[in-house]
Chain A
Amino acid sequence: MENLLLAEDIREKIIAHCLKGYPKEACGILAGQICRLAGGISKIELAYPLENISDSPAMCYEIDSKRQLEIQKELRAKKLDMVAIYHSHTESDAYPSKKDLELAYYPDSFYLIISLKNKADPQMRAFKIVDGNILKADIIG
């Protein structure tokens, strides 16, 4: 199992972004250092809360590709990796949906899902999605 190190302040920033976006889904990119060794610990150091540009933002999320390109170049300059992509599920569990699986094009990155089913107690879980297979990851912090 892979591990993701997430500091409390970044965790709070992500959850605050998701709650602020409710009832729309929120999304963003998390950067840091990816550990490419099996069972290693990848570390998140920086959060990019982003705008959800989906036409159906209560049901779906989409990140602007132009913004993605900017962030990709910025991370390279900072010698950081794109460690994770996060989004909220406003009514369902923190588990990849069929749509999440279909549209997962980054097998090296983690997919962090925040469930707001109970807004008073948001649930956050991390996964890798590789060739349609869901691999659970541990969030440590």
Chain B
Amino acid sequence: MINVILNGKKSVLEKTMSILELLKLKKIKPEVVTIELNDSIIDKKKFKATSIKEGDRIEFVYFMGGGC
């Protein structure tokens, strides 16, 4: 079990996992979010290779856009 902070809230993950695995777990499409890990934005291409560790702070926002 690892403890992380997800969008400011304490969260417990069952195991160390990649950002991509976390998004799958949360049913979030990777293409529509921007992820910040410990204050650094992670390139989408690195979601699979970036592991989440104990105490990490993860911040995510969805794409905001549209138009007429």
**Contact indicator B41/A60 (Cβ below 8 Å):** no
**Contact indicator B62/A87 (Cβ below 8 Å):** no
The total of chain A residues at the interface (CB under 8 A) is 32
**Contact indicator B61/A69 (Cβ below 8 Å):** yes
Interface residues on B, range: 10 to 19
* Shortest Cβ gap from A125 to chain B (Å): 13
Complex: A90 Cα to B68 Cα, angstroms: 8
Check if B1 is an interface residue, CB within 8 A of chain A: no
Interface of B, helix, strand, loop or mixed by DSSP: strand
**Contact indicator A68/B64 (Cβ below 8 Å):** yes
The 8 Å CB contact of B63, one of A25, A59, A105, is: A105
Given A65-B34, A69-B34, A106-B62: A54 in contact with B8 (beta carbons within 8 A):
no
What 6 additional pairs, Cβ within 8 angstroms, besides A25-B67, A65-B61, A68-B61? A60-B67, A61-B67, A65-B64, A85-B64, A91-B68, A105-B63
A-B contact pairs, 10 of them (CB 8 A): A63-B65, A68-B61, A73-B59, A85-B64, A87-B67, A97-B66, A100-B66, A100-B67, A105-B32, A106-B64
Binding site for A on B (CB under 8 A): 7-8, 32, 34, 36, 41, 59, 61-68
